[in-house]
Amino acid sequence: MAFLSVSFGVVVVFFLFSTLSIAFPGFSFNWGSDGNGRSVGSFHLTPEFYQYSCPQVNDIVMSVLEQVTAKDPRMAASLLRLHFHDCFVQGCDGSVLLDDSTTIISEKQSNPNRKSIRGFEVINEIKAKLEEVCPLTVSCADILALAARGSTVLSGGPYWELPLGRKDSKTASLNGSNRNIPPPNSTLQNLIQLFNRQGLDEIDLVTLSGSHTIGMARCVTFKQRLYNQNGNNQPDETLERTYYHGLTSVCPKSGGDNIISPLDLASPTKFDNTYFKLIILGKGLLNSDEVLLTGNVGNTMNLVRSYAEDEVLFFNRFAISMVKLGNISPLTGQNGEVRKNCRRVN
């Protein structure tokens, strides 16, 4: 079996794996779980997963990303977000990619995703290329994870060793998408709670929010801050004045919901630590960005300050938190499938 010759590390993993499957024949998702159905650790995902079955996988992903982002630099941001919206709903299982069908109620129409999430055609293009070279081998969930890393790197951000081997789900959860993905007007308490639910902590919250160093948001996602932050028809007082005036000129009180503004107005396509510097200046776009500094729970304020001062620290922590994000409840082994087309189950 090719598996055995991969490396000593993998052999050890294989041993553990086979021992456990003898101990629990027909083991499934709950194997090695924490009792909540969440798999503990991720030693069954490994960066070398496609080393023999599809060695070109990352090159193919990167060549599509290079072409696409050259034409549309925002696409890097959109793909990074797509992985996040996948992982927060049933784990990183490609569920976000499924279309409506007789058995599926798609997540694409959820509150956080409707008129907002983008990049599906890029994932489909990557998948089509991969099906030509290594058919039925690379999961859509892994393509999302690879595209998120590649997009970060192409935008000037950090690289990380990416554990692979996720399988794709046969289900989606519209309800999960509505309930698990934080809304932009969340309080800090609420953000921490929604991250904790995924096994992510306060550090992951602040660090991964740093993704908002690239990309855009629609007027409807920050309008409350401009016109009625606390039900008193007043703006959010933490907004810096000239920034606030600029925003009101592109985001009117009524209408204009889909007009977009940069999350990081200083460098919207460059992955850097400017996002944190802007928050300190009162120029963070979303309420969920601002409250990391002013929300007054835990240690998030100090993390924002540290990242604003030290980009290397931010990059290192970002790599770590992205691996944690990508390890949320993967389907592995016999669970799930490798979809032939990311938009539908086989």
Ligand X SMILES: *[C@@H]1O[C@H](CO)[C@@H](O)[C@H](O)[C@H]1NC(C)=O
Report the catalytic residues: 85
Q: Which residues are known binding-site members? A: 86, 89, 91, 93, 95, 107, 182, 212-213, 264, 272
Nearer to ligand X, 180 or 274 (CB): 180
Positions in 62-91 near ligand HEM (CB under 6 A): 74, 77-78, 80-81, 84
**Considering CB distances under 5 to 8 angstroms, the limit depending on partner class, which of ligand X, ligand HEM, none binds residue 180?**
ligand X
Summarize the chain as % helix, strand, coil (round to 5): 50, 5, 45
Q: Which residues are known binding-site members for Ca(2+)? A: 86, 89, 91, 93, 95, 107, 213, 264, 272
The residues near 133 (Cβ < 8 Å, ≥ 6 apart) are 54, 56, 60
Closest CA to 126 of 82, 158, 92, 91: 82
Which tokens go with 258? 């889909």
Q: Write the interaction track for ligand HEM spanning residues 114-153; mark x where CB under 6 A is met and - where it is not.
A: --x-x-----------------------------------
Interface residue with ligand X, options 155, 180, 327, 329 (CB under 6 A): 180
CA separation for the pair 234, 223 (Å, rounded) = 11
Buried b (16+ CB within 10 A) or exposed e, 190-199: bbbebbeebb
If you search the block for the tokens 């690239």, which residue do you land on?
Answer: 214
- Indicate whether 276 belongs to the interface with ligand HEM (CB under 6 A): no
CA separation for the pair 243, 211 (Å, rounded) = 20
Site for ligand HEM, rule CB under 6 A: 74, 77-78, 80-81, 84, 116, 118, 182, 184, 186, 191, 205, 208-209, 211-212, 214-218, 221, 263, 286, 288
Site for ligand X, rule CB under 6 A: 175-176, 179-180, 183, 185, 187
